[in-house]
Amino acid sequence: MRAKPEEIVSVLREEIQNYDTRVRRDETGTVLEVGDGIATVYGLDQAVYGELVELDTGVKGMVMNLARDSVGVVLLGSEAGVREGTVVRRTGRAADVPVGDGLIGRVVDVLGQPIDGLGPIETTETRPIEHEASGVVSREPVNVPLQTGILAIDAMVPIGRGQRELIIGDRQTGKTAIAVDTILNQKGQDVICIYVAIGQKASTVARIQDTLKKHGPWTTPSSCPPLPANPPPLQYIAPYSGAAMGEYFMGKGKDVLIVYDDLSKHAVAYRTLSLLLKRSPGREAYPGDVFYLHSRLLERACRLTKEYGGGSMTALPIIETQAGDVSAYIPTNVISITDGQIYLETDLFFAGQRPAVNVGLSVSRVGGAAQTRAIKKTAGTLRIDLARFRELEVFTQFASDLDPATQQALDHGRRLLELLKQPLYHPMPVSRQAILLYVATSGLVDDVPLEHVRPFVLGFAGEIEAEHPDVVAEIESTGTLSGPAVECIRAALADAKKRGQRHMASIKEIRTHIKSVEQTLKITNAMYLISSAKVKKARKQLAVRIGKNAAQGERPGRGVHLRGNVVELPLDGIRPIADGQFQGDGFGIVEAVQKRQNAVRRGRKIGIDGSWETMEASVPVCGLMTLPTSTLWRGHAPGERGLDDRISQFDARLGQGGLRGGDLRFGIAQLFAPADHRGL
């Protein structure tokens, strides 16, 4: 098919009209060397710090080191295929990530790419990962509480929206648990939550993701995903990527909660990159700008004025200490940057106090400004009471005689600690916290037994929520605890105590009866052990005596032959006495009861093997029966009736013409119990 001339002319005319006369200029460089995720590039003389570059292999990188003749590029991907001579192009823009509402409820990597298998993310905007923090003019004081749902924190270490509160402690002390509980408590609070996993294991990230899906507001527009990062370059930019995503929502007037878990691994990753980039090491091999590393990150968390959007971003960085050393380099740096810290103590954790918050070392520089009036009123003396309890506990641990005031203070402190215990994934609403704090700090439950304080108070709080919803609604709406509400709580508590006393009385009676039964059982078991010991001793003595007699060539008894480990028992001399019963003398006696119409006849064959269990027709009645000596005396205690007295006591059922093996075994064992060893 030939094209028409007019069609060719129209195509040429369109190409001429769309021809771009502008000259495109790309600045490129080449890779000199690559290794450990770091590429040294020659030729990018105009590159700036933090600029994004692209390699021919498709991998992107970020400029992090500026030298006279080269630049150091951190690869944000695999270095496979990158070798000497690979072309590197400048992009002219800083490293950025996509932002927008499409990120909510998704799991993405540090570059904003989805990794949850739910398809691409629809976003129209991007934001640089490195951004200057908001100035003083655009900031507003932190005075709006951010409820964590954890009683110990909301009561003594309050967190406000826009605050930077450090969570610090040793490994496995519950740092991540506090952060996750705080995220779970934001359900229905219109707070965007971002969890940044820095250097965490894939299993840890998966577990947190599953927890958020199961307990949290994952499907609602009030949460954002974890950002996993494993290689050092990705660990380095992970918190900045999360902060960029949070700043987008903050600029839209929303409240954001971001968790950095944890900045200790972030500092280690930055140290690794700095050493690979041949920067001079400083204290603990960290570079000199490690303080600036975290300060420029955490300063981005703030609360904006209404003129600048009115949003806020609250940061909860996590720092892991070694052996409780809070004076180490990185912990002291971050403590000086943040607005307070929540210190988790290992001893408290292993003592069962969870969350293991050390009240003495934990502080919030915002203070009561980030508390509701109800919490502030009811928790006013909590920190002082706990501090007093700690001091008295140390001074009186070796004391035996305490005055009533000291004992009362100790009992009050122990009950406070019991009420501050809280399981995982069970955040408390403000109303429940206010009720618990009021009854605890007022000493209204000091007369409740220590082991019953927590279930009693929690049950009482549930009754208040069910039977007095007006009190709960007042606390939630106004944030205060009025006088009528206090009187209602006191009256309900007195009634609950009366019911509890009656219940405890019945439980006490049951426990007393159980203890008496247990004591009786112990006595019975002791008597059984004593009897068993005596039986064992008698068996041992008998076996020794039989062995000695056999060694001396003596006959063990009348009609009995001991040959090795076998005893021969004659079954002759059987004679009837009356009604089918038979009796003999000596060791050749077997008595039995059979059906009246049957009788034992001489010459009938019966037998039994060495185990005394199965019956075989092997020997006549008047012959010999062989039995192992190891089982001859089994199961019988000494001191029983003699042989002649027991002859008529045993009844063995007879089948159709023959004795059953079990009956015969028992009969012979009865006859030759240890009590009869006197005739041996």
Catalytic residue among 365, 390, 414, 604: 365
- Among residues 94, 88, 86, 93, the alpha carbon closest in space to that of 28 is found at 88
Q: Kindly give, in sequence order, each residue whose CB lies less than 8 Å from that of residue 36, ignoring residues fewer than 6 positions away.
A: 276
Structure token pair of residue 51: 């600029």
Over the Cα atoms of the chain, what is R_g? 43
Q: Per DSSP, what are the bridge partners of residue 260?
A: 196, 317
Kind and range of the H or E run holding 605: strand 605-608
C-alpha 205/C-alpha 225 separation (Å) is: 10
- Beta strand 191-197 with 226-227 is parallel
**Taking a C-beta distance cutoff of 8 angstroms, is the pair 456, 431 a contact?**
no
Distance linking the first and last C-alpha atoms of the chain: 128
Phi-psi region of 388 (alpha: psi -120 to 50; beta: other; left: phi over 0): alpha
Does 539 participate in catalysis according to the annotation? no
Whole-angstrom CA distances from 81 to 111, 277, 427 are: 21, 21, 50
Q: Residue 172: how many CA atoms within 13 Å on its side-chain side?
A: 2
Q: CB–CB of 380/441 below 8 Å?
A: yes
CA–CA distance, 651 with 649 (Å, rounded to integer): 7
Three-state secondary-structure class, residue 32:
strand
CA distance 453 to 448: 6
Tell me which residue of 565, 574, 680 sits closest to 632, measured CA to CA. Answer: 565
Tokens in use for 657?
């013409």
Distance, in Å, from the CA atom of 114 to the CA atom of 100, rounded to the nearest integer, reads 13
State the DSSP code for 606: E
CA–CA separation, 549 vs 371, rounded Å?
93
- Tokens in use for 89? 């192009």
Q: How far apart are CA 132 and CA 125, in angstroms?
A: 18
Token pair of 23 as six digits:
């000259």
CB under 8 A, 24+ apart: contacts of 481-487:
481/373, 481/374, 481/377, 481/378, 481/434, 481/438, 486/438
Q: What is the DSSP string of 310-339?
A: --EEEEEEEEE-STT-TTSHHHHHHHHHSS
CB 294 within 8 A of CB 263: yes
Place of tokens 């972030």: 266
The residues, any chain, with a CB within 8 Å of residue 294's CB and separated by 6 or more, are 263, 266, 267, 317, 333, 334, 337
Of 182, 178, 311, 190, the closest CA to residue 246 belongs to 311
Tokens 């923090």 belong to which residue? 133
547: number of Cβ within 10 Å: 12
Alpha helices in 41-141 (DSSP H): none
Using DSSP, state whether 200 is helix, strand or coil. Answer: coil
Active-site residue numbers? 365
